[in-house]
Chains A and B, each alone.
Chain A
Amino acid sequence: MTFSKFTRGSVGAVLAVALTFPALSITAASGATNYGTVKNLAAAGGINKLIAACQKEGQLNVIALPHYWANYGDMIEGFKAAYGVKVDEANPEGSSQDEIDAANTNKGTSRSPDVYDIGIAIADKYAGTGTFAPYKVKLWKYLTGAAATSPTGEYTPDYTGTLTIGYDGSLGTITKLDDLLLPKFKGKIALNGDPMGSSTGLNGVFMINKALGGTFDDVSKAVAFFKKLKDLGNFINVNPTEATIASGQTPVVIDNGYVQAGVQKQMAAAGKSWKMFTPALVGSPYNMAISAWAPHPACGRLWLEYALGETGAKIFAIGGATPALWVWLVKTGRAPAEGIAAIGKSKVAATKASADQSSAAREYLKTAWPAAVGS
């Protein structure tokens, strides 16, 4: 009876990573083209050849894609419907690091993830280590920031969001950051993730910091503000989830805009009002990459073509995430009306922290954060 809780515990967490499963080697897709090394659509023989090769593989392995996140639920369903292949979804709540760890642990098996959706810190950390298979999608040159972030196409920016503060509309309207200090917000404000472990948490700190006039190089202003919130009892150390939000346990959440857009929709469906307040624009960009040892290399490449192409961009936009293709779509008049309604025409790349700034902030927060909001 204690056993399951024991394995659920910390030791279990280490074990899961330490444990490697016996390798089941799978045969690479036969035929003239080795899709594992294909670097662009032309080399794949065009979209129809790629589709046929993926259908032969029959499956795509994705990891850490929660359905409420940037509209990934619709993205996965859309991919399944368009090409008639299965999509195996592993560990939806995993972090970017978990994605790479899972691929390393399951290397050589048919269960290894084919594609990643990762934050810039992890993408930067693993670039050039042979972890990613370089691939440039058909519309690569129209993707904002693609050439700048990874000229070889090891990873490709797919969408970005802006951090926001989502809150229960019945609390009134937040017009400035200091409103959060009001007594009516006692026990109501939560941050999605600890800044030491979660990029959303860290970006949330960056947003508050920027709103207070701080820079990406020095987050002490945000720390002081969170300390004030904590001392007033307004900030609670609860990790908000769909359940805590829906039931009203965490009525104010500092979170990604493309998650809060989904919350707003759900709340509206339930007849409740959910508002957003964005005190400063801070971007939270994500990147797609293909595993160098993807068990379904053609499907992995097809997934990138789909998600980074026009259809995918539309799905991201409706979910409140700004697709990397957005500038081009707006410029060429192809942006869908629903997408414009959700994210607007001009909301593109908000300033974001570099990998170095992130890790410097993390080092600082290691001691400053628990001192400010810990107990």
Chain B
Amino acid sequence: MTQVTDPRAGSATSSAGSRHWRSKSAYLGVLPFLLFSGLFLLYPTYNVILGAFKDNENNFSFFALGEAFNSDITRHAFKNSLVLSLWTALAGSVLGGLFAWALVTGKKKGFFYRFSIALSSVLAQFGGVMLTFAFLATFGFNGVVSTLAMKVMPSSFLADSAWLYGLNGLIVVYTFFQIPLMVLVFLPTIENLRPQWREASDSLGGNSREYWTKIGIPVLTPSFAGAALLLFVNSFSAYATAATLINLTSFLTPLQIATSLSSEVGGANPAEAKALSFFMIVLVTFVMALYALLRRRVTKWEANG
């Protein structure tokens, strides 16, 4: 296969001469990051995992883990967290994927493209109190849309805001930051679909359907699934948005952890918090391992492209 140079592909071979030197200086540059993540991510994670196997008096014990595992409340919260993450990962990846695709087929680097990227970067970070408030003020019982709907179409779901204050509401609210995140993560992959592949398929007599089923979708699938997994984890670990919308500590695992840590009425139980966090870490590790496997496939074809 002939090597076609595509300026957008960011080829790794363009400055092959300095490769050796570059790899070493790159390690040096990454040192602050390693230090930072070690201090603020790895060390605390280590602490949490270690703490999950201890009781509140710092003795080695399986009690907290066992109790958390066997509690109906904990299981219910974990199930809610899983359902929420699955739905928002699904909705976010499908809608975000379609939007990313629409952006690529539009005018490259045009106003709408740049505007959408900028907007996605902001909205992917839009969460917590502000996001909850925005939804309450719009779709809540006393919100703008619901008040209007009450007058115009009183029988529609928009007029009865009860859906917003539970799992369904959380799914909608979370999807609001999942879609832009998907756009940001998935866009580079779609952009890497080389027009030459389409041309090659066409010149060999393939039609549009064959191009998508034989080339497009197989090439995009690992990336798409990887991005969906990332969305899953993103939603699974989110806390602030849920904490402001749902005033019920046993609703999601992150909310339960927060109460175990800071209960004002004497219910603080750090061992339980660590046990719950441990179960979350186990799940996230599993998902991220899947993600890493998928990424490996993706980078393989990207490099060989």
Residues of A within 8 A of B (CB): 1-2, 4-15, 17-19, 94-98, 101, 119, 121-122, 124-125, 186-188, 190-191, 193-199, 201-202, 233, 236-239, 241, 243-244, 247-249, 251, 355, 358-359, 362, 366-367, 369-370, 373-375
27 A-B contacts (beta carbon < 8 Å): A5-B177, A6-B237, A8-B239, A13-B258, A13-B261, A14-B48, A14-B274, A15-B40, A15-B48, A18-B48, A95-B264, A188-B142, A194-B259, A196-B249, A197-B259, A198-B264, A238-B136, A239-B244, A239-B245, A239-B246, A244-B133, A249-B136, A249-B142, A358-B265, A370-B250, A375-B165, A375-B251
Binary interface profile of B, 214-258, with partner A (CB < 8 Å = 1, else 0)? 000000000000000010011001111001111111110110011
- Chain B hits for A191, CB < 8 A: 247
> Which of A94, A358, A359, A369 sits near B262, CB closer than 8 Å?
A94
Nearest CB of B to A313, in Å: 24
Tell me if B181 counts as interface (CB < 8 A to partner A).
yes
Interface hit among B21-29, B104-112, B119-127, B197-205: B119-127
B257 pairs with A7, CB closer than 8 A: no
Which of B45, B230, B237 has the largest number of chain A CB atoms within 10 A?
B237
CA distance in complex: A248, B144 (Å): 11
B265 pairs with A7, CB closer than 8 A: no
Chain A, Cβ-Cβ closest to B46: A18
Tell me if B76 counts as interface (CB < 8 A to partner A).
yes
A370 pairs with B73, CB closer than 8 A: yes
Chain A, Cβ-Cβ closest to B37: A3
Chain B, Cβ-Cβ closest to A200: B264
Given contacts A2-B181, A8-B127, A238-B136, A359 and B237 within 8 Å (CB-CB): no
Tell me if B44 counts as interface (CB < 8 A to partner A).
yes
Which of A18, A101, A119, A367 has the largest number of chain B CB atoms within 10 A?
A18
Total contacting residues, chain B, CB less than 8 A = 69
Tell me if B166 counts as interface (CB < 8 A to partner A).
yes
Tell me if B34 counts as interface (CB < 8 A to partner A).
no
CA distance in complex: A2, B185 (Å): 10
Of all A-B residue pairs in the complex, the 3 with the closest CB atoms, nearest first, are A187-B141, A9-B237, A15-B44
Tell me if B303 counts as interface (CB < 8 A to partner A).
no
CA distance in complex: A251, B140 (Å): 12
Nearest CB of B to A24, in Å: 17
Nearest CB of A to B125, in Å: 7
Given contacts A7-B40, A238-B245, A370-B73, A375 and B167 within 8 Å (CB-CB): yes
- Chain A hits for B247, CB < 8 A: 190-191, 193-194, 201, 237-239
A188 pairs with B239, CB closer than 8 A: no
- Chain A hits for B51, CB < 8 A: 18
Binary interface profile of B, 169-203, with partner A (CB < 8 Å = 1, else 0)? 00000000100010011000000000000000000
- Chain A hits for B274, CB < 8 A: 14
A187 pairs with B248, CB closer than 8 A: no
- Chain A hits for B233, CB < 8 A: 2, 6
Nearest CB of B to A294, in Å: 21
A244 pairs with B136, CB closer than 8 A: yes
Tell me if B129 counts as interface (CB < 8 A to partner A).
yes
B248 pairs with A237, CB closer than 8 A: yes
CA distance in complex: A194, B83 (Å): 23
